[in-house]
Every structure is written in C-alpha cells, then in structure tokens.
Amino acid sequence: MTEESTRNGDVEIVYETLGPADGQPLLLVTGISGQLIDWPDGLCQLLVERGFRVARLDNRDAGRSTHLTDAGRPSQLTMLFRPAAAAVYRLEDMADDCIAVMDAVGWSSAHVVGFSQGGMIAQALAVGQPDRVRSLTSICSSPAPRIGQPRPRTLLKVIKVANPKRVKDREGMAQYVVDLHGLTSSPAYPADEAALREHGRRAYDRGGADLAAVQRQTAAIAASGDRRAALAQVRVPTLVLHGEADQLVRLEAGRATAAAIPGARLVTYPGMGDELPRELWPEFVDQISRLADLAAQTR
C-alpha cells in the first residue's frame, strides 16, 4: 500500500489504492477531519477479498492532503447565520477531489461509499456527476445539515471534547481519539482502547487534527444546504446504513437519506453508534457487494 497524490486545482489530495488492478473500482470517502486510515485496514482487506479494487483518500484539510491554512478559521456566528459566506469550499468541491482521485487511478466510474461527512460528499457526487457513480452507499450520514443533529446534551459534550487544540503530541492525539470515541461509541460493540490509541498515533504522524480545518469542513456542510430535492433525481442503486445508537448523526438522518433517493434501501443496526464496529465489517462487505452486483445488472 503506497500513498500517492493528485491535484484538483491548487488542492493536493493524497490517496492509496489496494487490491488487484482488475477489481471492481470502489472509492471510500471518510468524514470531518477524516484521514484515509479512518477506513480500517481490516475492512479494506475484506473488500479486496470480495473482488474490489479499493481507493481511500485524505479529504482536503485533513491528513496529508492540502490544508487551506491561509483561509483561516470561519466565524461561528457567520457559520450559523450566513453559512455561504463562511464557507471556503463546499461539498461539491470535495466531490471534485474524489473525481480527481478516480481520474488519477484511471476509473471512468466507481462504487462510492461514504461515511458521515463522506456520505454527504458521496451524495453530492451522485447528484452532480451520476455517470461517475456505479452505486452509492451512505453510512451514518444525512441529506441536510439540520437533519439528525446531536441533541443539546450531546452537542455540549462535542464542544467540550472535540477540540483538537488540546492535542500537543502523539500521546495527546491518542487520548483525543479515545475521548472522541466516547461520543461515537457503539453500546453493543465495545472498542479496543489500545487500538484506538494506536490509531491516534498514526493520525498524528499523518498530520494530526486541525481545529480551523474542522470548522472549514463544518462550514462546507452548512453552506451546501439541503440535498433532498436533488437526491430525488438520483437513479444509481443506493444503500443507506445507519447505527440505531448513533448520537452524532441520529437515525432520522439515515431515514431521510433513504426516503429522498428513489429505490434506496435502508439497513439499520441496533447498538451501533457513529462508527464502523469490527464485528459488523463482514455484514457491511456483504451489503456493499450485493449492491455492486445489483449495479452490474442495472448497467
């Protein structure tokens, strides 16, 4: 697995490919401040074993991709009352980053799987460039900024915990990831704390966490608005996966996504939070593989 890079205008996007060159093309898009390592190696390997050629990327403003530091930190008040003015870029620009990766890999189209904000980016890609999307899988995501938002008590916890400014070194990043998991955790699937800490160290080595970048990505979500009317025109086979215990993007968001896209299938998981529990990886792979088979029949 060797990291490579491509460009979308002035933005450099770092990506990685796994699996045989002749495998079915599958693009994985992660969430806010997401790095390509947020897609677990073990899950990617299961997808490869099912015949996929997998590409995963660092979103812009995350990991080793370009951080738009010169754009500064959006004002919270502007983000709230004038999101379009606060945003340096939108989800559509992040979808274009995905297209740049697909072009670099040589894919005219791909199955696209997005988690959280990555699901929103995948939705924007299916809306804006449907000929590049073979199938769409939206996981723990929403079709609009205000649908499925955390409840006030959870939001207060997010404000308290999810502040990258407190990360000073590798071990600080390890603790940050453990603390964040307290917000995203799955009651039915306890996490391995040692694995979380190691993930935090890897993330630190690849660029760490950047509060201003997180807020720029949050502004992109707010400025991109409600996609439900546009999603009604999507005709690619679509799967919506959502945890019933998700406190950050609540289940109503998954239901709204599935309701917005004609023919979309919603699958929910009791006891799953805003994450990808290891115990469910085989199930996720089965679902994505079935969708790819359906897409092949449709095409």
Q: Is 256 a residue whose pLDDT tops 70?
A: yes
Report pLDDT digits (tens) over 153-191. Answer: 998 888 888 777 788 899 999 999 999 999 999 999 999
Instruction: Please tell me the predicted confidence (pLDDT) of residue 259.
Output: 98
Q: How far is Cα 248 from Cα 140, in angstroms, rounded to an integer? A: 9
Q: How far is Cα 22 from Cα 170, in angstroms, rounded to an integer? A: 38
Instruction: Please tell me the predicted confidence (pLDDT) of residue 25.
Output: 98
Instruction: Please tell me the predicted confidence (pLDDT) of residue 282.
Output: 98
Q: At what angle do helices 211-224 and 117-128 cross, to 10 degrees?
A: 40
Q: What are phi and psi of 243, to 5 degrees?
A: -85, 135
Nearest alpha-carbon partner for 273 in 295, 236, 233, 244: 244
User: Scanning the structure block, which residue is given the tokens 């008040």?
Assistant: 77
Q: What's the pLDDT band for 103 if we cut at 50, 70, 90?
A: very high
Q: Is 255 a residue whose pLDDT tops 70?
A: yes
pTM score, two decimals? Answer: 0.96
Instruction: Please tell me the predicted confidence (pLDDT) of residue 1.
Output: 67
Q: Could you give all domains of the chain from N- to C-terminal order, each with its CATH number?
A: 3-149+211-298 (3.40.50.1820)
Give me the sign of the Cα torsion angle 246, 277, 101, 289: negative
What mean pLDDT comes out for the span 277-290? 98
Q: Are 209 and 167 in contact (CB under 8 A)?
A: yes
Q: Going by C-beta distance under 8 Å and a sequence separation of 6 or more, which residues neighbour residue 76?
A: 215
The more confidently predicted of residues 158 and 281 is: 281
Q: How far is Cα 158 from Cα 168, in angstroms, rounded to an integer? A: 19
Percentage above 90 pLDDT, the chain: 86
Q: How far is Cα 221 from Cα 128, in angstroms, rounded to an integer? A: 16
Mean per-residue pLDDT over the chain, rounded? 95
Strands 52-57 and 11-18: antiparallel
Q: Is 2 a residue whose pLDDT tops 90?
A: no
Q: What's the pLDDT band for 262 if we cut at 50, 70, 90?
A: very high
Paired tokens of 131: 């000929």
Paired tokens of 151: 């409840």
Q: How far is Cα 121 from Cα 239, in angstroms, rounded to an integer? A: 15
Nearest alpha-carbon partner for 298 in 245, 235, 249: 235
Give me the sign of the Cα torsion angle 205, 209, 212, 213: positive
- β-partners of residue 26 are 54, 111
Instruction: Please tell me the predicted confidence (pLDDT) of residue 206.
Output: 95
Report pLDDT digits (tens) over 214-251. Answer: 999 999 999 999 999 999 999 999 999 999 999 999 99
Percentage above 70 pLDDT, the chain: 99
Q: Is 14 a residue whose pLDDT tops 80?
A: yes
